């Protein structure tokens, strides 16, 4: 399902969400109580783009449900520090993350990690089959390692390595292309991997990972 909201409406939505986030996330509460505001943030602010319980309705924005908590923490810190500079990070997440404390970041990460992951996406069977080979075996001729080595045999991720299973294929393609072009440069391992992949290999690997 694609994003159908126009750019003007989208900008207004982001501005409203940022204003709400500023009020909620900067409340002066003890660190041990920070998680009390997380459902309000997740359901009232984050859900504007990432959907209820982290199930995004648009491939522009990633599914967060079931994502590795360690990975979410790393990305929110990277957004806050302006270390992740891909276009959507600049447009949406730099302003959002600037209002988050360390405690709120951890609590948000734990909240989304505890949600039920999105089911695998269906897609072209031939493309998914080709992607399975790349994901599980790599492409030796191009020096591409098996994705499973870091992201897990079922694309579940671990720690700093994100869950890819159930993610929007279009989102995965955009991230790999971002690593390839240098617009996203906060994961050196992925820079090397993406630069060794062809566009067709990227599409195939993304289709397979999204199907898990």
Q: Which of the 8 DSSP states describes residue 192?
A: H
**125-211: CATH number:** 1.10.760.10
Model pLDDT, residue 152: 98
Cβ atoms 115, 66 nearer than 8 A: yes
pLDDT the model gives residue 39? 80
Q: Which of 13, 50, 42 is nearest to 25 (CA)?
A: 42
Among candidate residues 51, 56, 156, the one with its CA nearest the CA of residue 113: 156
- Per the prediction, the chain carries an average pLDDT of 88
Q: What is the pLDDT of residues 12-66, one digit of tens each?
A: 555 545 554 554 444 443 444 345 578 889 988 999 999 999 999 999 999 999 9
The answer to whether the beta carbons of residues 195 and 202 sit under 8 Å apart is no
How many other CB atoms are found less than 10 A from the CB of residue 116? 11
E strand spans, the chain: none
Residue 19, token pair as written in the block: 């204003």
Q: Tell me the domain boundaries of the chain.
A: 7-113, 125-211
Q: Do residues 27 and 38 make contact, with C-beta atoms less than 8 angstroms apart?
A: no
Topology of the domain covering 7-113: Cytochrome Bc1 Complex; Chain D, domain 2 (1.10.760)
Name the percent of the chain in helix, strand, coil, to the closest 5: 60, 0, 35
- Could you say which residues of the chain have pLDDT below 50? 1-5, 9, 16, 20, 23-34
pLDDT of residue 21: 52
Q: Do domains 7-113 and 125-211 have the same CATH topology?
A: yes
């Amino acid at each position: 399902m694609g994003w159908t909201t126009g750019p003007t409406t989208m900008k207004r939505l982001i501005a409203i969400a940022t204003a709400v986030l500023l009020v909620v996330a900067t409340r002066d509460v003890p660190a041990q109580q920070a998680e009390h505001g997380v459902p309000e943030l997740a359901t009232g602010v984050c859900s504007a783009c990432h959907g209820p319980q982290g199930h995004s309705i648009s491939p522009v924005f990633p599914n967060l449900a079931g994502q590795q908590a360690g990975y979410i923490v790393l990305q929110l810190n990277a957004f806050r520090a302006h270390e992740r500079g891909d276009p959507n990070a600049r447009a949406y997440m730099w302003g959002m993350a600037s209002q988050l404390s360390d405690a709120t970041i951890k609590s948000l990460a734990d909240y989304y990690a505890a949600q039920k992951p999105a089911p695998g996406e269906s897609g072209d069977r031939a493309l998914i089959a080709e992607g399975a080979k790349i994901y599980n075996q790599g492409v030796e001729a191009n020096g591409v390692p098996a994705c499973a080595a870091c992201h897990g045999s079922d694309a579940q991720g671990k720690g700093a390595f994100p869950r890819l299973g159930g993610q929007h294929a279009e989102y995965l393609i955009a991230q790999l292309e971002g690593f390839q072009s240098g617009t996203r440069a906060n994961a050196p391992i992925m820079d090397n991997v993406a630069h060794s992949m062809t566009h067709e290999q990227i599409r195939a690997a993304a289709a397979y990972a999204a199907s898990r």
